[in-house]
Amino acid sequence: MELISVCSRSFSRHPLLRKEILDIYPNVQFNDEGKRLVGDGLIHFLKDSSRAIIGLEILNRETLSKLKKLKVIGKYGVGLNNLDLKALEEFNIKLGHSPGVNRRSVSELVLGFSIDLLRNITKNNKTWNPETGRLLSNCTFGIIGCGNIGSDLANLLKPFGTKILVHDLRKIEGFTQVSLIDLLKNSDIVTLHVPLDESTFNLLSMAEFSLLKKNALLINTSRGGIVNEKDLFSWLNENPLSRAAFDVFEEEPFNDSPLLTLPNFFTTSHIGGGTEESILAMGRAAINGLKIL
């Protein structure tokens, strides 16, 4: 009987997803220890598996070369930067992937970040120090990457009357499309929704930060590595009226990041897809992905 392995911790903890996959595949091992599987530990966990559900675990060429029995991966979540796609093809490992299944979860987090930063909600928590805020309705919102999440966010913003600028490599209908430089210069809020690859690594560094308004807000819920974190630290330190809210970091967990020392930096722990609805959607998409072969 073939072995199915679930690497994702949040999938493994979810009773309904466990039941649904066991209804189809009776021989399933889950990551019940709740540890992040890396390196030799990941190889040991997957060495006898023919099918696997992968979340944020890194499957590079070296790791994949040692997984001789692996034939199919069901992707839990939408990002693919942790998978060596060329190696998957080389080793004839099929990938079941459903883009955009967590788009509303992420776009609502961006909306929450925006209102929080504009109205100083977190900053004023449990303290009596009223501060003047800003209206989202009067802001220009710059969306870098207008795919599944970016376009969903843009639709959520429409009722606010917010001016929306988008930057994308593709032609986007229904929105004002501008260059990256013009978006950075003219936006009050900038949010990132692009995949992490060679073309987007350190997409925003000091040269780009220098174009932003002195009181701009920067939000990243896509992937760590798209923003140069050392330059971000310098920019926020030099521009105290600017603020940033990040859900993702180049190195996770982020406990040692110097950004955490800044009063104008806010963070969550990679919870963009962490709603009950999106966990179910991502889990079911991953289960369906196992059926690709």
Give the C-alpha separation, 205 to 152, whole Å. Answer: 26
Q: Which stretches of the chain are DSSP H helices?
A: 9-13, 15-24, 39-46, 61-65, 85-90, 103-119, 148-157, 180-186, 206-209, 229-238, 276-289
User: Which active-site residues does the annotation give?
Assistant: 223, 252, 270
Which neighbouring-strand residues pair with 165?
A: 142, 176
Only one residue has tokens 């967590």, namely 102
The Cβ of residue 138 has, within 10 Å, a number of other Cβ atoms equal to: 12
136: which DSSP letter?
A: G
Only one residue has tokens 């990132």, namely 192
Give the C-alpha separation, 44 to 15, whole Å. Answer: 24
DSSP 154-208: HHHHGGGT-EEEEE-SS--TTSEE--HHHHHHH-SEEEE----STTTTT-B-HHH
Which neighbouring-strand residues pair with 52?
A: 5, 73
Q: Angle at which helices 148-157 and 103-119 pack, to 10 degrees?
A: 50
